[in-house]
Amino acid sequence: MDVLRNRVIEKVSTKLPELSANDIGDLVSRAEEYFTSKTKRREVPEKAFWLWVDLSLAIHKSSLNEGEAVVSSIKRGDTTISYEASAKTGLSYFDEQIKRFMVVVSR
């Protein structure tokens, strides 16, 4: 697992050279946590290497774009604000790819 994790850190470092080693480690850990929580796996498999890299980059991108969503509607009564959501924004874009790695739990 550590070998795979180090490879992911290396690729993310190449894509985001402006980030510190701690920031990259945090991105990779957050992506791993997202993947394992969605798939119910204990660790990310080798076959999901590029998905792990892409998730790490998406987490970084989404943290940069926070607060920049387009407002689609505003209500005054209870002050409800709705934001437009693009089909390919955030981590939800990766959910279909992650589903391929889900563990089937049998009782």
Residue 73 in this model has a pLDDT that exceeds 50: yes
* Confidence class for position 83, pLDDT limits 50, 70, 90: low
Q: What pLDDT was estimated at residue 48?
A: 94
Amino acid identity of residue 45, one-letter, is: P
How distant, in Å, are the alpha carbons of 26, 43, 50, 57, 67 from that of 101?
A: 22, 11, 13, 19, 31
Q: What is the pLDDT of residues 27-38, one digit of tens each?
A: 999 999 999 998
User: What is the chain's percent helix, strand, coil content, to nearest 5?
Assistant: 55, 10, 35
Q: What pLDDT was estimated at residue 67?
A: 52
The predicted model scores a pTM of 0.73
- d(CA 31, CA 54) in angstroms, rounded, equals 9
Element holding 63 (H helix, E strand): helix 49-64
What are the beta bridge partners of residue 71?
83
Mean local confidence (pLDDT), 65-78: 61
User: DSSP letter string over 71-82?
Assistant: EEEEETTTTEEE
